Amino acid sequence: MRKSTVYFLFTLGSVILLAVLLWSGRYGAGEAGAMQEASKILVQELQLTDLCLFTEARYTRHPAMADLHSAFQDHPLALEHFPSGSLATPPRFRRERP
C-alpha cells in the first residue's frame, strides 16, 4: 500500500471519528440537562453545602471540613500517602514560613 493511501485512510478515519464524537455530544446534551436538574434537587434535599474534591489528604478537603488535629500529618519528613497530593498542593499558609 502506498504511503499516500495510508495517509488518506487515516485522515478519512479521523474525520469520521470526529463526526461521530460531535454527533454523540449533541445527542447526549438533553440527558445532561435532566441529570443536572436531578442533582440540584438532590443537593437541596440533602442540604449539601461544601465541595469536596478529595477525601484523602487533609489539605485537599474543603477548609470547613478540615481536621486540624490529626497527628503527624504535617510533619516535615512525612511521606505522601495519597495520590491526590500530586494534584492539589497544600494551601499557601501551610507552605510559607511564619
Chain segment 27-78, per-residue pLDDT in tens: 777 777 788 888 889 888 887 766 666 666 565 555 666 566 665 556 666 6
- Cα separation, 80 vs 65, in Å, equals 20
- Cα separation, 37 vs 51, in Å, equals 18
- Grid cell, residue 44, equals 437541596
Q: Cα Rg for the chain, rounded, in angstroms?
A: 24
Higher pLDDT, 4 or 32: 4
- Is residue 47 within 8 Å of 75, Cβ to Cβ? no
Residue 91 has pLDDT above 70, yes or no: no
